[in-house]
């Protein structure tokens, strides 16, 4: 079960990166509504929520997953998503039991990972809507490709 949970977490992460790679850098400042989060801010929020949970649950995992960094908005965003995805994977492997307790998150590890995946999926939808409203609609191949769970699964 843990191997399956890691694989599904990696698939979720691969979908995030697939979407990120398809977003033009000039679209990072698009917002669906006035004074709303930009695409870049939404992506960074996704990583920030993971960081906050990890800081409360197992802060040492973030330190051991230091980002490689990036020189532009896309690179920095990718680094933040990569760092937190790696740390969550380490958490899954460290707990080692899908029903295992996670400090500060009830009822268990499986619920905490499902929460994070649902959070990511919610914000992927927001990003697609923001891009569409800002005139930067992603190609339909990309939009539908984000639903290709088996195709985004690690081999």
Per-residue pLDDT of the chain (155 residues; tens, 9 = 90+): 899 999 999 999 999 999 999 999 999 999 999 999 999 999 999 999 999 999 999 999 988 655 556 668 899 999 999 999 999 999 999 998 878 898 888 899 999 999 999 999 999 999 999 999 999 999 999 999 999 999 999 97
Closest CA to 148 of 12, 43, 52: 12
Bridge partners of 102, per DSSP, are 105
Structure tokens at 141: 């191949």
Locus of tokens 């920095």 = 76
Closest CA to 42 of 123, 142, 133, 146: 123
Q: Is the pTM of this model over 0.85?
A: yes
Question: What is the enclosing helix (H) or strand (E) of 104?
Answer: none
Interhelix angle 109-133/2-22, nearest 10 degrees? 10
């Amino acid at each position: 079960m843990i191997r399956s949970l890691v694989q599904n977490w990696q698939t979720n992460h691969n979908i995030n990166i697939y979407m990120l790679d398809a977003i033009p850098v000039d679209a990072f400042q698009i917002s669906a509504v006035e004074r709303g989060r930009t695409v870049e801010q939404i992506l960074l929020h996704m990583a920030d929520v993971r960081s906050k949970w990890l800081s409360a649950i197992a802060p040492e995992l973030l330190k051991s997953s230091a980002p490689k960094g990036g020189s532009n908005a896309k690179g920095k965003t990718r680094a933040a998503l990569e760092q937190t995805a790696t740390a969550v994977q380490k958490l899954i492997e460290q707990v080692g039991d899908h029903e295992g307790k996670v400090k500060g998150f009830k009822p268990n590890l499986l619920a905490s990972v499902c929460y994070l995946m649902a959070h990511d999926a919610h914000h992927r939808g927001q990003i697609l809507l923001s891009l569409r409203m800002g005139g930067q609609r992603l190609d339909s191949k990309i939009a539908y490709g984000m639903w290709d769970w088996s195709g985004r699964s690690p081999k």
